[in-house]
Structure 1
């Protein structure tokens, strides 16, 4: 959820640049984390975050109850990502769970010949794991994906999530059930973290991911703002959390809090309206 200080909301509506910046700082994290899980691509998520923040800033005057401005901003975000945002690069691949399963089973290899150091190996393993969970989400339709993200990743109640999506609680629960069934069924059949009998091993996905340019040696793209500040031990701990999460929902929740800077486009907008 997005939490706004009502005093700052009122000040921003009166033209305070400092208040607008404070609201942007409060919104950018939740919006970007939602966008990353919906679009599964950092640049696409940053573009969508810019668009959403601009919508929030330029329509702040439409809010009737400033005490509920944060909830309103979150609804703006979900509506944009579920209905308005352009198809992202991963979405354009039109992945189905069947296609993704075939890619996982065929794309296995040995990574030792890449000469990765221990920290490079841990970074690559984390990128593979996070990238796989994001790709799984994109196999869902946008409506089912948003329901799953709100309910099982952000842990909203049925009432909260249906209110955000502006649908009935019954419709929301139906979407969530369908999304849960699809994700759980896919992991049960394919993910060795979830099921010991499944064929796909994250370790064996490093080599094809490097060969195809999906990840880069020594680089953490999906979590790039945090990775540079982490020690090898910290990265290993993150990977361990992913590996010990047995239920599909726990695996999804074990992804990092994605971090981004204040988009420059929004800074330019603030310069124009201040």
Structure 2
């Protein structure tokens, strides 16, 4: 998931500032993407990403093999995100899957604006993104990181087990449990995955606006382009085998943009 140029890593370890900036540039998006899926809130994910990047920068000299720096960085990031004492704002809500399902079913209504309107379409995409991120926080952190690495970032059992520093058997057990919980929830509560589920992204728009979770014209996830075609996405996911639908839904989120690494390099001047 994280790939670093061994030559840049080697040069950065020797004090080359330009090489260090390149390493940080390569790290900031994958680390932030992992943090977003673990913490489900942009500001909290940026704070965690900054802490992780500083840890990586300050311990870069301890790496034994420059070619293994990407895997080491992912270990650092995963260990930090699982072990954080502070909960993110979404984690602090301590939602169970039942609580979250009940919340989704409350306040469903047809949107005032047309889903084809660009601003409304982006808001609907934001709802899908926020929902899938919040859904992950219903898992405890150990199960969540296993699910993110395995089903969202599609790492093999051995790769993910190496990152989490556990046996492959233990990892498979965690991933299996996480998959079961996520799949059970989306089958009953997510209209993108299941026709029988009441919740639809577009029907959550009014409630999401009323409680301040989204603001039309001010996307929180850095969506600069027109949102994914929700009906098209729904059809695509439903054509998949049942066991693959939840993971495909999670992977449909765009890359989350951030410049936190650039800010760190500015501070270090």
TM-score (norm 2): 0.92
8 Å contact from structure 1 (residues 28, 262) kept in 2: yes
Structure 1 distance, partners of 2:65, 2:154, is 25
Structure 2 distance, partners of 1:49, 1:39, is 11
1:166-201 deviation per Cα after TM superposition (whole angstroms, max 9, x unaligned) = 001111001001100000000111111211111112
Structure 2 distance, partners of 1:29, 1:108, is 34
Structure 2 distance, partners of 1:184, 1:91, is 20
Q: Tell me by how many angstroms 1:241 deviates.
A: 3.0
SS of equivalent residue, structure 2 residue 92: helix
Structure 2 distance, partners of 1:3, 1:134, is 24
Structure 2 partner of 1:267: 265
Structure 1 partner of 2:100: 100
Structure 2 distance, partners of 1:72, 1:206, is 41
Structure 2 partner of 1:250: 248
Structure 1 distance, partners of 2:10, 2:214, is 44
Structure 1 distance, partners of 2:159, 2:56, is 20
8 Å contact from structure 1 (residues 46, 263) kept in 2: no
Structure 1 partner of 2:169: 170
Q: Tell me by how many angstroms 1:262 deviates.
A: 3.5
Structure 2 distance, partners of 1:168, 1:269, is 39
Structure 2 partner of 1:197: 196
Structure 2 distance, partners of 1:159, 1:115, is 46
Structure 2 partner of 1:180: 179
Runs of 4+ in 1 over 6 A off after TM superposition: 114-117
Q: Tell me by how many angstroms 1:111 deviates.
A: 2.5
* Residue 236 to residue 116, structure 1, CA distance change in 2 (3 Å): closer
Structure 1 distance, partners of 2:115, 2:183, is 32
Q: Tell me by how many angstroms 1:6 deviates.
A: 1.6
Ranges in structure 2 where 5+ consecutive residues have no aligned partner: 239-244
Structure 1 distance, partners of 2:230, 2:103, is 25
SS of equivalent residue, structure 1 residue 170: helix
Structure 2 partner of 1:75: 75
Structure 2 distance, partners of 1:239, 1:67, is 43
Structure 2 partner of 1:90: 90
* Residue 263 to residue 107, structure 1, CA distance change in 2 (3 Å): farther
Q: Tell me by how many angstroms 1:30 deviates.
A: 0.7
Report the aligned-residue RMSD. Answer: 1.8
TM-score (norm 1): 0.91
* Residue 117 to residue 194, structure 1, CA distance change in 2 (3 Å): closer
Q: Tell me by how many angstroms 1:202 deviates.
A: 1.4
Which runs of structure 2 are paired with 1:216-255 in the superposition (5 Å)? Answer: 216-222=215-221, 224=222, 227-228=223-224, 230=225, 232=226, 235-237=227-229, 240-241=232-233, 244-246=236-238, 247-255=245-253
Equivalenced residues, count: 263
8 Å contact from structure 2 (residues 115, 202) kept in 1: no
Q: Tell me by how many angstroms 1:268 deviates.
A: 4.3
* Residue 117 to residue 238, structure 1, CA distance change in 2 (3 Å): closer
* Residue 60 to residue 76, structure 1, CA distance change in 2 (3 Å): same
8 Å contact from structure 2 (residues 25, 262) kept in 1: no
Q: Tell me by how many angstroms 1:130 deviates.
A: 0.8
